[in-house]
Structure 1
Amino acid sequence: MPLFRAIYFALFITNRIRQSNRQAFAYVVHQVATFSLAIGFASILVASMVMFGFQSEINKKMTSFFGHFEITKQVGHAYPYEPPCIHAIQINRLLKNLPTAIEKIEAFAQKPVLIDTKEGIEGLLCKGLDHNTLHQELESYIIAGRLPYLKALTYQNELLISHYMAQKLSIALGDHIIIHTIDPSTRFRKLKVVGIYRTYINDIDASLAFCDIRLIQRLNNWTPEMVDGYEVFIKKNIPIKKMLRDDILHLIDDNLRVVKTDQKYAAFSDWLAIFQKNTIIFMVFILLIACFTMVATAIVQVIERNDMVALFKSLGAHTWQINVIILCNSLYTLCWGMLYGNILGMGLCFLQSHYKLITLEPELYYMQHVPISWVWQTVFLPNLCAFCAISLGLYGAITLFNKNKIIEALE
């Protein structure tokens, strides 16, 4: 109970100070500090939401085209080769034992081909889509046309290519193109371009086209159960941890391997890591400025209220009670600054999210507009970390400063 009375006393004095502080110099300092904190917290919030936005968009693109995990044969091989034959019982075993984690498993087969057009010849990796599953994740990147039709009893001579390749070879939607293969024998097929996609990721757009998996199997003289591998898609909100990879490895044969997509395409993970590092450095820098601002505000308050500190001390108040009074007054400013900063930051992010005001160079950033991530971590975590860090720094500075100021005030 004495502790609660002491806290109530500190809050009461803080409230009286703020009511009687309108004409004091410290009031002006608090107003300036509130404005500075609002700008700082808005910057931190925007940086956090943009950072998570980039991570979300890049990861979404990579997993949409390659899944979260890839199951393939252990040893590498060159053409001609015997493709891995992964029995369906293993796939059913994964789905049965990990139903809460795995959303779906797709078979894939891929084959290097040459596209022959009037503009020239270009090499591509043609990837066959599993006709037994849906591919909604790819449809969001199609800018014209559709996916190859996969529901027919036999394969269709249809192709989905990238916007980059369509422009380079002057291919339009509905055109027929000739593809050539050289293994296991020289063959060609006349395919109809039924769709055009765009990801702005050059490693995908410049090298990947999609067709029916049965077309690839036919070109390779494979039976229906022969595939290059399987892509495992994990459900949303399930963390992709090493434990999950180990669980998948435990349920498949020893001659197969499981590779995470972000490990296979490590260049994008490295790019995201550099971007995240720079963003965190920026946020820490803003946080230090905010901390120094609050410390300076508290020091001004202590200097201006020197007589009040001496009076409370002479009446028997403990030093920690005086520190709490000054801290509560400073936290009042901090909370208002955080509130205004959150309103400003989320307002700016809302405008960017809905109206795409700030554009980017797709060749450098893999997207046209600055992405915004609306998840609770992007708002809650920066606010919590900033509040705790500034509060601790503030209390430490007030404690150190008051040791000398109380003695001077009593003298």
Structure 2
Amino acid sequence: MNFELFVAKRIIAGKEYKSSISSPIIKIAITAIALGIIIMMISVATGAGLQQKIRDKMSGFKGHIQITNFDNNNSDVSVVPVSKNQDFYPNFSTIDGIKNVQVFANTVGLVRTKTDFEGIVFKGVSTDYDWSFFKEYLVEGDVPNFNQKRTRDILLSKTLVDRLQLKLNDTIRVSFFKKDPKKLPSTYKLIIKGVYNTGFLEFDKNMMIGDLREVQRLNKWTKDQVGGFEVLIDDFDQLREKGNQIHQSIGSTLEATTIVGSYPAIFEWINLFDNNIWFIIGIMILVAGINMITALLVLILERIPMIGILKALGSSDWSIRKVFLYNATYLIIQGLFWGNLIGLTILLLQQYFGFITLDPENYYVSEVPVYIDVFSMLALNLGTLILCFTMLVVPSVIITKIQPSKSIRFA
């Protein structure tokens, strides 16, 4: 039988343990650990969720990697066309981890109504386009079908629809400007087939999705000419590696740009979340550890006579220290249990009901996203347990200073 564990269990189970002077301090220590793990879990889950949601939305609009003509200079407008007849289209046979390769072409225009107007980026796509992203955020109607003849059905954001006081199936007039400023713009009638709302105002405020053949007609391109290619990959963490592989496998007149390279400021901003998360974790573990040290010291001082008796009976200092370390570990586990229970409840409620909202103009999402990674949560709990336990080893040295001859007199 483990003697130290047996004594620790007897102390915990004793009635005087729950009604002792140290009881309020112990409860405070348990509460501190519970609150600490709650805050850490929320920080990790929401930080990872926000990073993932923002990069998924950006990739949904722009793809993970864009292949365009070198002369386009990363512009939102497809100025110089690219031939669709490439070795890597429709599939990158030489590179693994590629989910889809889809053609696109962009041009700018002006949506006009009787009372207002808005500038837009008209993104033309074809039958190879992956609609899974827009289907997730579709609020009305359906995505356009480009499998038939050329269509003027478009997908418009709810932001633009509300701003221009439009509705589903409305016919809108869009003017497209020509390269020669002396020529009048071309005006087309387009039909709102579907309405989406991603909450990413950076793109929602001006992005319109339609038929690639309309853009080709506007730019006087042939059916084999496109603005570029969007490449979707399976694992975002391999973006840089896949970007380099794609760059090396395409022609010298083409350029491959990752979504991170196109929008470095946004990705630098979301990478700062990691620093904030680590800072919060460090502070919370420190606070929890200090509270546990206080609780352990009170437990030791409260049981000085017991320590003296155990020493008189032949127990070693380390054996007695283990008794109190077992006791403190029980308190830490108790705090972790309640913290995980409450923390996971809050995260699941947020994940399914989204009661905590954000300003999409600043955070690119309308509600706090949650990503619960089991491995991260287990590592968080295990790390907290180990670090708090390690912090308790040093103050337990006070037991070695207690002399049996003096301590037993207070029994």
Q: Which interval holds the TM-score relative to the shorter structure?
A: 0.7 to 0.9
Name the structure 1 match of 2:188. Answer: 189
Q: Does residue 1:16 correspond to 2:10, yes or no? A: yes
Q: Say if 1:80 and 1:184, in contact at 8 Å, map to a contact too.
A: no
CA shift for structure 1 position 28:
4.2
**Alignment partners' CA distance in 1, 2:406 and 2:266:** 60
**Alignment partners' CA distance in 2, 1:327 and 1:190:** 76
Tell me the number of residue pairs that the alignment of Structure 1 and Structure 2 aligns.
400
Name the structure 2 match of 1:198. Answer: 197
Name the structure 1 match of 2:251. Answer: 253
Name the structure 2 match of 1:177. Answer: 172
Q: What is the identity, as a one-letter code, of the residue corresponding to 1:14? A: A
Residues 322 and 245 of structure 1: CA distance in aligned 2, closer, same or farther (over 3 Å): farther
**Alignment partners' CA distance in 2, 1:352 and 1:248:** 39
Residues 173-207 of structure 1: CA distance to partner in whole angstroms, max 9, x if unpaired?
22222222233564222111212222222210122
Q: Say if 2:137 and 2:197, in contact at 8 Å, map to a contact too.
A: yes
Mapping of residues 6-45 of structure 1, within 5 Å: 8-20=2-14, 21-45=17-41
3-state SS of the aligned residue for 2:366? coil
3-state SS of the aligned residue for 1:200? coil
Residues 263-291 of structure 1: CA distance to partner in whole angstroms, max 9, x if unpaired?
32233323323444334433332222111
CA shift for structure 1 position 316:
4.8
* Percent identity for Structure 1 against Structure 2: 25
Q: Say if 2:67 and 2:255, in contact at 8 Å, map to a contact too.
A: yes
Ranges in structure 2 where 5+ consecutive residues have no aligned partner: none
Q: What is the identity, as a one-letter code, of the residue corresponding to 1:375? A: D
**Alignment partners' CA distance in 1, 2:394 and 2:214:** 70
Q: What is the identity, as a one-letter code, of the residue corresponding to 1:182? A: F
Q: What is the identity, as a one-letter code, of the residue corresponding to 1:12? A: F
CA shift for structure 1 position 342:
0.5
**Alignment partners' CA distance in 2, 1:200 and 1:406:** 68
Mapping of residues 21-100 of structure 1, within 5 Å: 21-76=17-72, 81-85=79-83, 87-91=85-89, 94=92, 96-99=93-96
336, 345, 348: which one aligns with 1:347: 345
**Alignment partners' CA distance in 2, 1:251 and 1:410:** 79
Name the structure 2 match of 1:281. Answer: 279
Residues 360-393 of structure 1: CA distance to partner in whole angstroms, max 9, x if unpaired?
3333333332222233145223223322222222
**Alignment partners' CA distance in 2, 1:404 and 1:329:** 20
**Alignment partners' CA distance in 2, 1:320 and 1:69:** 60
Q: What is the identity, as a one-letter code, of the residue corresponding to 1:37? A: I
3-state SS of the aligned residue for 1:174? coil
Name the structure 2 match of 1:215. Answer: 214
Q: What is the identity, as a one-letter code, of the residue corresponding to 1:198? A: N
Q: Say if 1:117 and 1:177, in contact at 8 Å, map to a contact too.
A: yes
TM-score, L = length of structure 1: 0.87
Name the structure 1 match of 2:163. Answer: 168
Q: Does residue 1:292 correspond to 2:286, yes or no? A: no
Residues 317-344 of structure 1: CA distance to partner in whole angstroms, max 9, x if unpaired?
4443333222111010000110111011
Residues 73 and 405 of structure 1: CA distance in aligned 2, closer, same or farther (over 3 Å): farther
Q: Say if 1:80 and 1:183, in contact at 8 Å, map to a contact too.
A: no
**Alignment partners' CA distance in 2, 1:323 and 1:196:** 66
CA shift for structure 1 position 398:
2.7
**Alignment partners' CA distance in 1, 2:296 and 2:56:** 46
Residues 200-223 of structure 1: CA distance to partner in whole angstroms, max 9, x if unpaired?
222101221110111111211222
Q: Say if 1:131 and 1:213, in contact at 8 Å, map to a contact too.
A: no
Q: What is the identity, as a one-letter code, of the residue corresponding to 2:292? A: M
207, 217, 237: which one aligns with 1:239: 237
Residues 93 and 368 of structure 1: CA distance in aligned 2, closer, same or farther (over 3 Å): closer
Residues 357 and 132 of structure 1: CA distance in aligned 2, closer, same or farther (over 3 Å): closer
Residues 20-76 of structure 1: CA distance to partner in whole angstroms, max 9, x if unpaired?
334433344323322332222222222222222212221221122122222223343
Name the structure 1 match of 2:336. Answer: 338
Name the structure 1 match of 2:150. Answer: 155
**Alignment partners' CA distance in 1, 2:240 and 2:393:** 41
CA shift for structure 1 position 139:
1.4
Ranges in structure 1 where 5+ consecutive residues have no aligned partner: none
Q: What is the identity, as a one-letter code, of the residue corresponding to 1:302? A: I
Residues 74 and 324 of structure 1: CA distance in aligned 2, closer, same or farther (over 3 Å): farther
Residues 354 and 120 of structure 1: CA distance in aligned 2, closer, same or farther (over 3 Å): closer
CA shift for structure 1 position 119:
2.3
Over aligned residue pairs, what C-alpha RMSD do you find?
2.7
TM-score, L = length of structure 2: 0.87
3-state SS of the aligned residue for 1:88? coil
Residues 232-280 of structure 1: CA distance to partner in whole angstroms, max 9, x if unpaired?
1122x56334323222223322333322213322333233234443344
Q: Does residue 1:142 correspond to 2:141, yes or no? A: no
Q: Say if 2:82 and 2:226, in contact at 8 Å, map to a contact too.
A: yes
Q: Say if 1:119 and 1:170, in contact at 8 Å, map to a contact too.
A: no
Name the structure 2 match of 1:226. Answer: 225
Residues 75 and 384 of structure 1: CA distance in aligned 2, closer, same or farther (over 3 Å): farther
